[in-house]
Structure 1
């Protein structure tokens, strides 16, 4: 059970990151928060993209077939529908509020294509590194519809969707012992506050995608605005207070791997030799 030590130091915003416009797949427009020049990675996180638009031309081309090896992709849909398929015969449909945690492992080729021609498409994709011992594991999926993601209301005016990790006695459905992740979607009504005990030894970030909030206590509180990410540190409890328009954010944490990273495009290994082998294996059809 999560418990707050009232004497514990509150976590602070030690760095702010502004997302940059980017495109991926067949030209899908998105905002890159982790994985760009401002913040190349935050061990074990390799990339965070936010996508959100009402313009079909910004997303309709989707993400045609492409390979992955050596890490995990986490897709969290807020709005819209995305059909995914891979070369192992797996197929599914991500609907609003659903999450897919895909472990690419030794390799697969998959596609993610919008299953709509109009309306809003919005969500996040997060890349999580795998430790060396698990990079060549068999690919697998943890995929959950919105009704399988628990929602808790731990304080007045606060609602939390628990995708991974724990809030009180409530556990999220995603399990990954290697990085012991936390992934929460937090909504705060205007002016409401909430405190949460952060996992010890993890790297932690908060990304605000609606409204604004303050992080910290009293004169030490710092603001996070819409489309800003805050890297957190310096304390074991997180104090949040929403602004006048309320706030919605994702809070994500993971145990750092502290291993060398050899990375190029869709492959993330530990050495250059392993990276070169990934390209050879893909080209020779061994995914």
Structure 2
């Protein structure tokens, strides 16, 4: 059994059986490829069926030299899943990763933007340029609907249910959800699609994508990162932000203004409420305000 052959089978399993996104499958494959590269450099001939726990321990021992603890934990978790698959398919009788522990890591609180900073970023957009209206609609949608960047670039005209004040979002594992959209957000999307997008020559196969580049094609994730980076530089923002920062801000601001955690979970598309809670890092001033306002003794 060759590593690359079983890795191809595993990728197919992740896509068909688990329903994972292309990005997730790619990340799992890259982590397993790290093990394959380690074995190659070590001149090891061990195959997936026969690889020993000691070899895997040596691989894990080398990880801190190249990756941080969070990445180490992800790689170990991914390998455990890979060997569980081999057991499930009767290629092995045991999972050699079972007794190998991940490094202890704390939860990293996400960075957020204040409403003032978000307004400054949007105000910095040059609306005199052809892409100005598009970029404003992009930021309004990232923040107004709490989307992941992959969800944003895959948003389609056929996903807009403006009469019902919802958009249909395709999230991780191709799972769909409906997210409410505000009047302000609808206004800027309509300005873009009716005043700018309508004049764009669109490439075949990209007609339904909402946000397009100058060549009439679907935007890439990298392009969204670049847009946000340039705007942050334009206002002198001293924070390292990304498209996901707007998603964090969306969730945090909703919670600070009294939104229900379950409702936020549904809008973000999280399977577990535990995942949603990591976004909810409210400051102490807000917590004190909540106590003073709602505790019966106050």
- TM-score, structure 2 as length reference: 0.20
In terms of fraction of residues, the more strand-rich structure is: 1
In terms of fraction of residues, the more helix-rich structure is: 2
| Greater relative contact order, per chain length (Cα 8 Å cut-off, separation 6+) | 1
- TM-score, structure 1 as length reference: 0.21
Higher radius of gyration, 1 or 2: 2
